[in-house]
Amino acid sequence: MRYSTIIFDFDGTLADTLEESRRIYNLLAPGYSLREVTTEELPGLRHFSLLELLDHLGIPKRRVPSLLSRGTSMMRGNITRLPLIPGIGEILPALRARATSFGVLTSNSETNVDLFLKAHGLREHFDFISSTSKLTGKSTHLRAIRKTFSLHAAEMLYVGDEIRDIKAAQKAGIAMAAVTWGFNSAESLRAEAPEHLVSSPHELLQLVPPS
């Protein structure tokens, strides 16, 4: 069965938000008694899972919802000026033409995603935007999307850039295309055995051939 519903993560998959996220985190860090993250640290952090990252940065789990909520709110002021992942804007229309439905599932806010996609002239391609306030809550939302649209799991493909995205797709029984241009490294993504490991946006077209 070919993929007919394609669901994208947002940060690091569609939008290049890494440096903006680091900037916002560093602004929030003093208020939570956390240390700042330097640009030089980022390559090393790419190998960490979510739990390893929280442990490395000394972030208590109980602080994560507050950091996430405040961070996404702060990002809103600059969201329309953030760049697309290079090459993603060029392939999305062609990929959309080969699929029945397009969506976004993100830990960012629906408003931020909507504003970003509109700013880049891509909002019309997406049928829905779904947001979870929990960093580990995506599997529940993937199952809900499947139920809402009466889909077979084999029809769905989740596209994301993090280890936690792979784990969520596996838990939901949905195929995963892990992209290497986002937060987690290719090596760390490969170790989680996603169905597809994608190193350029153009490769996504190969996963959904024309009907």
Check if 9 is active-site.
yes
Give me the long-range contacts of 77-83 (CB less than 8 A, separation at least 24).
78/20, 79/112, 79/115, 79/116, 79/119, 80/115, 80/116, 80/118, 80/119, 81/119, 82/15, 82/16, 82/17, 82/20, 82/116, 83/15, 83/16
DSSP-derived pairing of the beta strands 156-160 and 128-131: unpaired
Q: Which of 9, 11, 161, 165 is catalytic?
A: 9
Measured CA to CA, the distance from residue 194 to residue 206 in angstroms comes to 16
Return the structure tokens found at 20: 């903006």
Paired residues of 198 in beta bridges: 179
Active-site residue numbers? 9
